[in-house]
Each structure stands twice: as structure tokens, then as C-alpha cells.
Structure 1
Amino acid sequence: MSGTSTPKYIHGYQEEEQERLREQALVIERPIYDFIDFSEAKELLEIGSGVGAQTEILLKRFPHLSITGVEYESRQIAKAKENMAKAGFGEDQVRFIHQDAKNLKLNRQYDGAFICWVLEHIPNPIEVLISMKPFLKPGAMVSITEVFNATFYTYPIMPAIMDYWKIYNEYQVHIGGDPQVGAKLGDLLSESGYRDISLRSGGFHLDSRHPDEKSTVFSYWKNLINSGAPALLSEGLITEKQIEEMLSAMEELQNMPNSVFYYRFIQATAFV
């Protein structure tokens, strides 16, 4: 896609945001990857590879893999190549292709596919699932991890956070995304012709029993939702004061011994 036709992306492409993606991937690594097994795959197709944050974890956990990352934003590909070089992964292990995932043109078939935090940003995500199917071998495993933002809950409930969260999610819908796409993965895969579909709910339910992890996750979540602030601000949907109040409330919860953090994402596994 050219720069003029690139759809809006709630998190933006600033360098600070590119680093956040890597840090976020590491914080949430175990809840996602402890339930993914690509040990039988050799060539993996990653859709929406971004800055390579998930690619790096995949190669660390499954060093035998050869990964092709498809990404439509050239700035993310440049950063991904830089990140892979820093991590010591060569071009024999990973390559990145600048394409629109709804209209893939690949020169090989893969025996696995991976999508993580991508379909939430794409209008009509079923088009991606249909587009990649011809490039997957019979029996190939597909693993998809996606958001289910309606599940976010804190105790105590902080209006400054929940009001911001509502605006954040409504904006994502406005620009063509779907903050609840995780809940729909079963139907999307079924309609796209995949088989043996299974779904699981993963995520966090943290309280006073896990103070360190809870503090880490509150910090991660604060950075995640704050990454949407520049876009919301530029669209006139939110004020600086509302952002400051949200950040302050997140820090208050982070430092509160009896606070609770709850959020679920959805993971789907399916086969071609």
C-alpha cells in the first residue's frame, strides 16, 4: 500500500511505539506462547509481522523455523529488519515482505501460519483468512491470538480509565477495526473454510496474591492504552486532562495492594 492509502492505526508508528511493541510482547509472552506449538512446522507465514516483536519470540522458542513476515507498513519492516539483526537472526531464518494481507502474492506454500494482535486493526478480517489459505499446505496449523476488549475490568472501577477505554474502543471501530474480534474467531475461521477449530481464553486475573506480576501488567496496560492517546487527541476525541487523569488512575491502581486486574484475549487454533 502507498502512504496515502494506509489505513489509520490507533497506536501509530513512532519509534517509542515501536519499542513498546517489543516490550509488550515480552510481558505477555508466556500467556500466549505456552499454548502454541509450532515444533512440527518448518516454514511459517506470519501475517502482520510489524516490528518483528512476535517474530523474535517465535524464533527464540522454535529456532528451527524459517519465517516469512507479511507487513503492509514499510516503516515497520525497516524496524523489524533492524530488530532481527540485533537479535542475531539471519535472512536464512526470517524475511519480510511488503504486501497487503488481503491480497497475498506469495511464491510458496507454508506448513503453518501465525497472527497475533492484527485482525483487530483490519476491516473485514475474513478477507485475510481467505487470502492466506491457498498459500498453506494441506494440514497446516493456523494460530491466531486476538483481543476481546469488552472483558477488561479493574477493581475498584475507575471512571477516568473506563471513560477513556470506551472512547479508545469506539475510535478503533470508527477507523475500521474491531476490539471484540477475538470473540468472533471461531465463526471467521469456519466461514473461511478452515477445519478442526478450537478456541481458548487466555489472559490475566491478578490480585494481591501476585503483587509483582500485577504491577508489571498494570504498567504494560497503561502504556498500551496510552499509545492510542496521540490519535485520540488529534481527532479531538479526548483532552490532555482526560489522558492525565487516566494515567494517574492507572498508577493509583498499580500501587493499591487490593486492586484487581482482569482481561481475556482469545486464541484460536485451526487447520487447513
Structure 2
Amino acid sequence: MSESKGATYTHGHHESVLRSHSWRTAKNSAAYLIPYLKPDMTLLDIGCGPGTITADFAALLPQGHVTGLEVPNSDVLDKARANAAERGVTNITFTTGNALALPFPNDTFDVVHAHQVLQHVGDPIQMLKEMRRVTKPGGIVAAREADFSGMTWYPEVEGLEDWRVGYLKTARANGGEPDAGRRLHVWAKAAGFSRESITLSVGTWCYYTPEERAWWSGLWADRSVSSNYASSAIQHGVYTQEGLQRVSEAWRKWGAEEDGWFTLIHGELVARV
């Protein structure tokens, strides 16, 4: 995940975060973009993390090439390279750079993609301008961003609404915008895209089976006390360690609910250059 001047990546790459990121695929996280892809395209994946979506793109573009970008000195690229090698994907390259000043010439890629990155950078409009700059004329800029205020769950377990409020405060204190999904089209227009060039959609993740509940609640229970998010929340005075422990316990309580259900919504943007 990219990190840029003026903002701190709220989650970091703790195991509980990578547990979530490694679950992501092109099918469950970028289905809106797949119909636009052609086998010989070149694609840049900004904030590629452990590279599971990136490798899927490479498989979908067998005559093309995919570049995964992460922040400098990111150990997560070792996981991305290992994942690609394990899958036998060869039309893929991983590199580092700043999402607000991409290290590529103008008009380099057919598609420039970012998943859950704009919400974490200090200047999402500048990042979209950079994505536009390195995309070829007629190419596509694509982004998918969660909207934390739009997340919904059942039942109303005590402590989960406190988690949401605390997360919003922490992410904004770190310089990001956790309700990015609803803002994508506004940011895109500010970055120079015309209204006519923009296509919007909404995607969801939904967790409700016992296995899904255990996985989703467990990673957030761990993330709430052990990740960069936990240290940021304490640093900004949003939580004490005891408060984070209560949030963690609320997640585990929700995960044990037989009728538990949790849904995330994501704004999705396809913008023609």
C-alpha cells in the first residue's frame, strides 16, 4: 500500500493486515475493471501490497505486462515477488516509488489501477493527476476505495460503532480520508477528468458464514491491538491501550454471533484519459 508525503499509512503491514490483503483477488476486488482489460495491455498497480491482485492482472494480460508499485523499503514486495514466482507469473515487475510523483514517463501504461490507496494519501487529487499523466491517451485510470461510514453490520454489538468512530478519527489524523469511496468522482474531476469520461459503480464485500466471520473479526481484533493502526490511535489520543482492547473484544464478540453479518461498500471509478 502506498504511503506519501503528508500522510501516514494507517494500517502498516502487520500480519493481521496482510491476512486481509492476501485474500484479495482481481475477482473479489477489481471485478469492475476486468471487462475493460485486453490481453496485450500494460498495467500499473499502485500500492500492490503482497501482489495477489497484481498477479491476477498479469494472468489476465498474458501478452501484456504488469508493474506493481510500493513505497520504498517495503518488505511486502518480497511476499509479492514470491507469490508471483509460486504462480509462475513472468510478465510482472515490482518496483518502488511515490504515488504523488510516479517514477514513469508520460503515456506509459494502458491501465493505471489503485485499490484502497487514495484513502491513505495526503493529496488524492495529485495522485489521480499522476495516474492520468502516466496513462496513454485512450487508456484507463481505475480506483476502488472503501467507505467506512457506509459499512454496516448485524447485530449491533456494543463497541463496534466506537470502533468505526475511532477509526475515522485515526485515519484522518494520519492525513487520509476513510470515506474515500463516495468522493472518487469529485477527486477525479478535480484531477482533470471530464464528467463524460467517468464511469462509477459500487462493489461490496460481505462476511456472514462462520468461517468468514471468524476470519474478518479475528483480523480486526488483532489489528486493533497490534498493528500500526493501534499505535497511531494511541499516538493521536483517540484510544488508550485499554480502549483498544475493548474494541478488540467487541470484534471477537461479533464474530461469535451466529447471525453475524458485515458488509463493506466500495466506490469504483473508471476514468478514460
Is the TM-score greater than 0.5?
A: yes
Q: What is the match of residue 13 of structure 1?
A: 13
Measure the CA separation in 2 of the matches of 1:96 and 1:234.
32
Q: Does 1:230 align with 2:227?
A: no
Per-residue deviation at 1:118?
Answer: 0.4
Aligned residue pairs: how many? 263
1:102 to 2:103 alignment: no
User: Partner amino acid for 2:163?
Assistant: Y
The letter for the 1-side match of 2:32 is: F
Alignment partners' CA distance in 1, 2:222 and 2:98: 28
- Indicate how the Cα distance of structure 1 residues 232 and 63 shifts in structure 2: closer, same or farther if over 3 A, else same: farther
Per the alignment, in what secondary structure is the counterpart of residue 103 of structure 1? coil
**Distance verdict in 2 for CA 1:58–1:218, change over 3 Å:** farther
8 Å CA contact 2:43, 2:113 repeated in 1: yes
Task: Name the CA distance, whole Å, in 2 between partners of 1:85 and 1:230.
Answer: 34
1:89 has 2:86 as partner: no
Deviates more, 1:125-134 or 1:158-167: 158-167
* Cα shift at 1:225: 5.3
Distance 2:217 2:249 in 1: 12
Question: Using a 3 Å threshold, how does the CA distance of structure 1 residues 77 and 204 change in structure 2: closer, same or farther?
Answer: closer
Amino acid in the other structure paired with 1:198? T
Cα distance, 1:256 vs structure 2: 1.6
Matches of 1:78 and 1:191, distance apart in 2: 35
Which SS does the other structure have where 2:100 is aligned? helix
Could you say which residue in structure 1 is the equivalent of 2:65?
66
Shift of 1:262: 2.6
Q: Quick check: 2:146–2:264 contact (8 Å CA) kept in 1?
A: no
- Relative to structure 2, which stretch is displaced further, 181-190 or 100-109? 100-109
Listed as ranges, the matches of 1:40-59 within 5 Å are 40=38, 42-59=41-58
The answer on whether the counterparts of 1:12 and 1:231 sit within 8 Å (CA) in structure 2 is no
Instruction: State which drifts further: 17-26 or 64-73.
Output: 17-26
Distance 2:221 2:124 in 1: 27
Distance (whole Å) between structure 2 residues aligned to residue 250 and residue 148 of structure 1: 19
Q: Secondary structure at the match of 1:25?
A: coil
Moved over 6 A (4+): none
Contact 2:224 2:248 in 1 (8 A): no
Which residue number in structure 1 is paired with residue 172 of structure 2? 173
Q: Render the CA deviation track for 1:119-155: whole Å, top value 9, x for unaligned.
A: 0110111101112322211111222110111012222
Name the counterpart of 1:119: 118
Cα offsets for 1:52-108 (capped at 9, x unmatched)? 232123234444441122322322434433433333333xx1222322121223146
Letter in 1 for 2:172: V
Give the superposition deviation at 1:260: 2.9
Partner of 2:187: 188
Cα distance change, pair 53–73 in 1 and its aligned pair in 2 (3 A) = farther
Q: Is the CA contact (8 Å cut-off) linking 2:6 and 2:121 kept in structure 1?
A: no
SS in 1 for 2:153: strand
Distance in 1, Cα, partners of 2:97 & 2:65:
18
- Which residue identity does 1:126 align to in structure 2? I
Deviation at residue 113 of structure 1 after TM alignment: 1.2
Are 1:24 and 1:220, in contact at CA under 8 Å, matched by a contact in 2? no
Q: 1:148-200, CA deviations, whole angstroms, 9 ceiling, x for partnerless residues?
A: 11012222223322212211221111111000111111111122223521111
Q: Secondary structure of 1:145's match?
A: strand
Alignment of 1:197-208 (within 5 A): 197-204=198-205
Is the 8 Å Cα contact of residues 43 and 112 (structure 1) preserved in structure 2? Answer: yes
In 1, the alpha carbon distance for the partners of 2:16 and 2:211 equals 24
Question: Partner amino acid for 1:117?
Answer: Q
Q: Distance in 2 between matches of 1:10 and 1:234?
A: 12
Identity, % of aligned pairs? Answer: 23
Distance 1:230 1:61, change over 3 A: farther
What TM-score does the superposition give when structure 1 sets the normalisation length?
Answer: 0.82
**Corresponding residue of 1:243:** 244
Unaligned stretches of 5+ residues in structure 1: none
Cα distance in 1 for residues equivalent to 2:45 and 2:31: 18
* Contact 1:160-1:242 within 8 A present in 2 as well: no
